[in-house]
Structure 1
Amino acid sequence: MNTAIQRFDETRDALLSALGERDWEAIGKLDETCRGCIDDMLTADVVDEAQIKAKLEGLLEVYRDLLDATIGERQAIATEMSQINQAKSAAKVYHLFS
């Protein structure tokens, strides 16, 4: 059980680090690894339910932060795309009158 929890903690820490760096590829891989870590913790012979609950609640906070970051990134991209489209429209108008 201790190795499952240690692996879980290491994966969660790596996920936080990747989130801080906005390394979306690493986040995708770590998400898959995290799912395996959860399965390992839940199927371990000795289960301390209180500890697992605390670990999962902590992970939930990480995923909330991740969701907030992805929403922010998506909004930034949408804003940038809107500005690009406005610039293209302005360029077309400029070419019509030049």
Structure 2
Amino acid sequence: MQPTLQALASFQNALREALVQQDWAAIGALDAQCRALIGKAGVSDPALHKPLEELSRIYAELQQAARAERERIAGELTRLNQSIRVDQMYKAFG
């Protein structure tokens, strides 16, 4: 069980670092690896409860950050589309 606990701690650190860097590709890869590890380990061992709770908190932070990033990108796309429309109007009258 010790290797599983160490692997979970490693994933927690890597996910936190990827979140700080907003490295969404790394987060996606880590997520897939983490799911595989948890699938192999199972969750019935009481020693895994605390690390899994912490991992759950990190995932909640990741979800919040992803929502904020999605909203930021949507705002940028909206401004870009508005700029394109204004440019097209100027060209039509110019």
Query: TM (normalized to structure 1)?
Result: 0.86
8 Å contact from structure 1 (residues 12, 34) kept in 2: no
Deviation above 4 Å: which 4+ runs of structure 1? none
Match of 2:25 in 1: 25
The match for 1:5 is 5
List alignment gaps of at least 5 residues for structure 1: none
Q: Distance in 1 between matches of 2:4 and 2:31?
A: 16
Task: Provide the aligned C-alpha RMSD in A.
Answer: 1.7
Query: Which gives a bigger RCO, structure 1 or 2 (Cα 8 Å, sep 6+)?
Result: 2
Query: How do 1:1-98 residues align onto structure 2 when only pairs under 5 Å count?
Result: 1-42=1-42, 47=45, 49=46, 51-98=47-94
Unaligned 5+ runs, structure 2: none
Identity of aligned residues (%): 33
Judge conservation of contact 1:12–1:59 (CA < 8 Å) in 2: yes
What is the count of residue pairs matched by the alignment?
A: 94
